[in-house]
Every structure is written in C-alpha cells, then in structure tokens.
Amino acid sequence: MAITDIFKKENTKGSKTNKQAKAGKAVAAVDKDGTVKAAFKNDWVAFVLEHAHITEKASNLAEINQYVFKVALTANKQEIARAIEGYYGVSVDGVNIVNIPAKKHRRGKGITTRPAYRKAIVSVKKGQTIEVMPK
C-alpha cells in the first residue's frame, strides 16, 4: 500500500450491490474492481452442505422434524448446525452423523468403487420445517 492511498476516497456511489453487500444481505459480494467474490453471505455453507438426501426413510423422518442431508466428509456437527441455521433459518436441536463407506462393484471385467459419503440427520425445533423438495 502506497502512502498516497490513505488520501483516496472509496467510490461507492450508485452501486446497489455494494450497498447491499455492506448491509449483510444475501447478494453477491463485489470487489472494488467489480468482480464477484461470493454467491451468498456465508460462502462456506456451500462446502459443508452438498444436497438433501431424499429417500423413503428420510421422508418418514421429516414428519418428526428430522431432515437428512449429504454433507462434506470433513464437516463436523457444529459446522453442519451453523450451516443449516444460516441457510434455512431454523433452530437446530441436534445433529447425528453417519459415515457411509466406499463400496466396490463389478462392471463387466473391471471393479469400480462407489465413493464414500457422509450423511447428517438434523433435528429442528418443534413447529419449524425445512422445505427440501420444491413443490
């Protein structure tokens, strides 16, 4: 940083996205040169939550305020709870984690491996719901 940079004013006039980004809204953060940095406020959420795990058993758990998500292999319970609270806006009561190991399958003469993944079963407070399947 040059010594003359301390006298320069920051030009933020007329930039709606800069004002919203400073206010903490869920919009794309914009650098001074106009490049987009992040798609939403907490960009680490995208690395923790992969997608909702939708099966028959998961839909039965949704009736008792438990939702199943596929998450990153390195995510812990606290990160998952913060990601769910931040993304869906609900209060999390508890998080249970299941590690599903990699499995080998035959495909013709060769053997392939289905990758390992991690499931998180998230319990939310009574009366709150998460819309995992769009209607």
Residue 100 above 70 pLDDT? yes
Calculate mean pLDDT across residues 13-38: 46
Whole-model pTM over 0.75: no
Alpha carbon of 66 to those of 85, 98, 108: distances in Å?
14, 14, 40
pLDDT category, 127, cuts 50, 70, 90? Answer: very high
Q: What is the pLDDT of residue 111?
A: 94
pLDDT category, 25, cuts 50, 70, 90? Answer: very low
What topology does CATH give the domain 47-124?
Alpha-Beta Plaits (3.30.70)
Of 28, 78, 58, nearest in space to 132 by CA: 58
110 Cβ contact list (under 8 Å, min separation 6): none
- Which residue has 């998080």 as its token pair? 95
Domain boundaries, the chain: 47-124
Q: CA-CA distance, 122 to 107, in Å (whole number)?
A: 35
Q: What is the pLDDT of residue 67?
A: 95
Of 7, 25, 8, nearest in space to 16 by CA: 25
Q: What is the pLDDT of residue 24?
A: 39
